[in-house]
Amino acid sequence: MSENTKVEAKRVFIGAGCNRVVNNVSWGASGLVSFGAQNAVAVFCPKTAQILTTLPGHKASVNCTHWLPTSKFAFKAKKLDRQYLLSGDSDGIIILWELSTLNNDQQWRHVLQLPLSHKKGVTCITAYMVSETDAMFASASSDGVVNVWDVSFPSQPSEECKVVCLDSICVDTKAIVTLSLAELPQNPGRFALALGGLDNKIKLYSGERTGKFTSVCELKGHTDWIRSLDFSLPLHTTEEIPNSIMLVSSSQDKVIRIWKLVLVGDVGSWRREITLASYIEGPVFVSGTFTYQISVESVLIGHEDWVYSVEWQAPVIDFIDGRLVNHQPLSILSASMDKTMMIWRPEKKTGVWVNVVCVGELSHCALGFYGGHWSPNGLSILAHGYGGAFHLWRNVSSSKESENWQMQKVPSGHFAAVTDVTWARTGEYLLSVSQDQTTRVFSAWKNDEGNEAEDEHWHELARPQVHGHDINCVAMVQGKGNHRFVSGAEEKVVRVFEAPLSFLKTLNHTCAGGEGSFPEDLQADVQVLGANMSALGLSQKPIYLHSSSEPLERNGGGEGLDTFETVPEAAPAELKEPPIEDQLAFHTLWPESHKLYGHGNELFSLCSDHKGNLVASSCKAQSASMAEIWLWEVGTWKAVGRLQSHSLTVTHLEFSYDDTLLLSVSRDRHFSVFSIQRTDNGEVSHKLMAKVEAHKRIIWACSWNPFGHQFATSSRDKTVKIWSVENDARIKQILVLPPFGSSVTAVAWTGLDRNEKSGCVAVGMESGLIELWNVKIIETEEGTTATAALALRLEPFMCHVSAVNRLAWRPTEKCESNQSLRWLTSCGDDNCVRVFNFKF
């Protein structure tokens, strides 16, 4: 393989969960949804349920995102080939991004960081599209400061965005958590800004597009923190020109209030008579030459917990008096911590606001919703919840009179740092573990349109382990028989899991289905259908085939007894399409078959040998006795060896491809190579062959060459070194790659050509960046040498935005059909699991 060969990279999949904050999600006029995933801004397409990209730029967790224009202003964005996105983080930084679409090809660009940043975290961003090329937006912070901005978008591709700060309002020492902007009726260029925070009052400010905003009144009524505010667009009534807008507010007092802001006359002509009625009618304020009055239109009571978000439905185009008008529907979506979203509308006859749709109430797993959003066409609603998951419903009813809201597929992923990732033994799926205390399986599903690789869409297939501890490491057990994995968490026990029948059957419907290893697995007489989570313990109990109908009968009888606090009975089943969140959380668990006791501290690293005979494990350690590596025999799960060499935590373990050597790297800056032999009577013997101080700082990762006894080590000292185990058992350093830009936290080696002994080493860094290096091993009589050349530096928009924790190449049997194609998965601190494919 020549050293200047161009390697093509393609992004196949990104799995990530949503940050657990309010105001984090925004549904744009483009039809795309943005959300914060740790420091990244992620963008997904609801039609395909795929995350399209992540935007790198923030150094802190992303608190809020806001499209310009959002779905509310979709009617003003018909001709826009460029759309913009604002994102704010917990350091107070706000970044403006540009999405340009040319021939269905989407390009993202970091436009600018706002010059005036908040001193504390950004809590909310709201915007008003004045025209197709002009917008106003306001940002609030937890120190009580609100900044108001004017932004004008370029009309020509060569021009740049202009952003001007109009005003900075110091409202209060307490945090402002929600904002809404609106243009006052019949008063072009004058705006109302509503602010809500921790003092139970809605503050109303008024100002012009040229500058200062002044406080005009306060709206009292809520008895707890104000959580969400949203102005409607002007309401079309019988008059020619609309003279009122509505403001909806929600609070932790579980109540939603609708306020009506009406133009009552010119400043000179309108006089208020002080009567008892005027106290009911509400406050009056002047803006420019007009007087406005605000009164309570309605109070909506229906939620049983804090109402985190309220949002008006986006405008729809209607025929009014024979004219096409963008008309504001009287329809409000609310999302609450009581695990429900409701749609409220006034009754036709009485005008009384009632709850007409309620979704989500049967969900056990949501633990409450943090926000709800309308799609631009008003036919879909999206919620995001405590567990980082999205929930999407679509109205599939064909008639206008009735509504039928059905759950839809959404992207999913971990909502905390992903610590380890591994492929199934023939690469049918990948398994990732995270500090969000879950283990997840991701796989490619066949598309309805076709079965080509181009049509593959990856989705979460199962959640085998839902656990009470952060999970640090995972390893698939290789070899024949059923699918098994071992995982290690912030506890001293290694847990062994086995695939249930429901999973094996589901696997047939993925792109991996029917590829040889499954028919025999199904015949392996797996008696376990699935697993149940015990209410108090951490062990997942098996559900056996013959008892699968019992749970359903037990629940069916006592409907009133099934409260939200009980753990629902699992009903594992064969899935013919990607599961939704409720199924994943409860019905796709794997039974735990063994617990391996022996380590004295929390588990840190695991690996399995390639024949499926041994599993090696290590735990956190600050002494030589704790830093022992334990060997376990697969099947009997007995401890068959305790390998001593290191004095601090062993950070990574890997068996050589012929299973004769075990490599370990450690915080003590040394690596060790052990020889592993099996005697005739099946016993395992092990011997320390070498221990070498290899780097100046902690060694994070190691990886063997699939074609020989060479391996790579990577370290915090920003280097990757290639070593060779020579025939006389000496270990020789044969190559050092040029220094990298930051600490190298992950490394993985795949073979490309066995005859030429060439391969590719993937390198992952603390900065989130990934590079590929072509490495060629040259064996001569004098010894082994190697050459290396940079094959590809992945662009930042494809990479992680925080440290890469693990890289893993798909087993090459999966690539037999196409010799030049290789698949790589990566996981990182940005909550993301990524899959790439490379054409060499």
Q: Is the pLDDT of residue 791 over 80?
A: yes
Q: Please indicate, yes or no, if residue 409 is contained in any of the structural domains.
A: no
Q: Is the pLDDT of residue 453 over 50?
A: no
Q: Are residues 621 and 682 in the same domain?
A: yes
- Note the pLDDT of residue 104: 73
Q: Are residues 453 and 592 in the same domain?
A: yes
The 10s digit of each residue's pLDDT in 656-666 is: 999 999 999 99
- Note the pLDDT of residue 392: 93
**Could you tell me what percent of the chain has a pLDDT over 70?**
88
The 10s digit of each residue's pLDDT in 156-196 is: 777 788 888 888 988 866 788 999 999 998 888 889 999 99
Phi first, then psi: give them for residue 555, nearest 5 degrees: -75, -30
Mean pLDDT over residues 325-329, rounded? 79
Q: Is the pLDDT of residue 220 over 70?
A: yes
Q: Are residues 720 and 751 in the same domain?
A: yes
Ranges 202-206, 461-465, 816-820: which has the least confidence: 816-820
Mean pLDDT over residues 252-273, rounded? 80
Q: Are residues 672 and 788 in the same domain?
A: no
Q: Is the pLDDT of residue 754 over 60?
A: yes
Concatenated DSSP letters for 538-593?
A: SPEEEEEGGGTTHHHHHHHH-GGG--TTSPPPP-----SSPPPHHHHHHHSPPPEE
The 10s digit of each residue's pLDDT in 493-538 is: 999 999 988 888 888 877 765 444 455 545 456 677 777 776 666 6
Query: What residues pair up with 43 in beta bridges, in sequence order?
Result: 34, 53
Please count the structural domains in the chain: 4
- Note the pLDDT of residue 559: 40
Q: How confident is the model at residue 604 (pLDDT cuts 50, 70, 90)?
A: very high
Q: How far apart are CA 817 and CA 304, in angstroms?
A: 56
- Of 169, 185, 210, which one is at a domain's C-terminal end? 169
Q: Are residues 505 and 628 in the same domain?
A: no
Q: Are residues 657 and 804 in the same domain?
A: no
Q: Is the pLDDT of residue 210 over 50?
A: yes
Strand ordering across the sheet containing 226-231: 226-231, 244-251, 255-266, 290-301, 284-287
Q: Is the pLDDT of residue 450 over 60?
A: no
Mean pLDDT over residues 280-306, rounded? 86
Mean pLDDT over residues 348-367, rounded? 80
What is the DSSP secondary structure assignment for residue 506, as one 8-state letter?
A: H
CATH number of domain containing 830: 2.130.10.10
Q: Are residues 97 and 140 in the same domain?
A: yes
What would you report as the CA-atom Rg of the chain, rounded to the nearest whole angstrom? 30
- Of 132, 148, 169, which one is at a domain's C-terminal end? 169
| CA angle 828–832–837, rounded 5-degree value | 95
Q: Is the pLDDT of residue 636 over 80?
A: yes
The residue range of the domain holding 628 is 610-693
Give the CA distances from residue 623 to residues 312, 597, 620, 667, in Å, rounded to whole numbers and listed in that order: 60, 19, 9, 11
Q: Is the pLDDT of residue 139 over 90?
A: yes
Mean pLDDT over residues 631-647, rounded? 93
Task: Tell me if 342 sits within 8 A of 328, measured CB to CB.
Answer: no
Q: Is the pLDDT of residue 238 over 80?
A: no
Q: How confident is the model at residue 730 (pLDDT cuts 50, 70, 90)?
A: confident
Q: How far apart are CA 127 and CA 315, in angstroms?
A: 16
Q: Please indicate, yes or no, if residue 106 is contained in any of the structural domains.
A: yes
**Who wins on pLDDT, 798 or 553?**
798
Q: Please indicate, yes or no, if residue 736 is contained in any of the structural domains.
A: yes
Q: Please indicate, yes or no, if residue 742 is contained in any of the structural domains.
A: yes
Calculate the CA dihedral of residues 457, 461, 466, 471 and round it to 10 degrees.
-50
436-448 burial, b at 16+ Cβ within 10 Å, e below that, comes to bbbbbbbbbbbee
- Note the pLDDT of residue 600: 92
Mean pLDDT over residues 561-583, rounded? 70
Q: How confident is the model at residue 279 (pLDDT cuts 50, 70, 90)?
A: low
Average pLDDT of the chain, as a whole number: 86
- Note the pLDDT of residue 554: 37
Q: Where in 696-795 does DSSP place strands (E)? A: 699-704, 710-715, 720-725, 731-736, 744-753, 758-765, 770-780, 783-793
Q: Please indicate, yes or no, if residue 685 is contained in any of the structural domains.
A: yes
- Note the pLDDT of residue 269: 62
Q: Are residues 508 and 644 in the same domain?
A: no
Mean pLDDT over residues 804-824, rounded? 79
Q: Are residues 441 and 582 in the same domain?
A: yes
Q: Please indicate, yes or no, if residue 565 is contained in any of the structural domains.
A: no
The 10s digit of each residue's pLDDT in 679-701 is: 878 788 999 999 999 999 999 99
Q: How far apart are CA 204 and CA 217, in angstroms?
A: 5
Give the CA distances from residue 667 to residues 60, 490, 699, 839, in Å, rounded to whole numbers and listed in that order: 27, 18, 6, 35
Q: Are residues 444 and 576 in the same domain?
A: yes
Q: Are residues 583 and 678 in the same domain?
A: no
Residue 518 host element (H or E): helix 517-523
Q: Is the pLDDT of residue 413 over 90?
A: yes
Q: How far apart are CA 169 and CA 16, in angstroms?
A: 36
- Of 693, 723, 755, which one is at a domain's C-terminal end? 693
The residue with tokens 């790198």 is 56
- Note the pLDDT of residue 5: 61
Q: Please indicate, yes or no, if residue 688 is contained in any of the structural domains.
A: yes
Ranges 228-237, 240-249, 358-367, 641-650: which has the least confidence: 358-367
Q: Are residues 730 and 831 in the same domain?
A: yes
Q: Please indicate, yes or no, if residue 200 is contained in any of the structural domains.
A: no
The 10s digit of each residue's pLDDT in 474-500 is: 999 988 888 899 999 999 999 999 998
Tokens coding 659: 């299973």
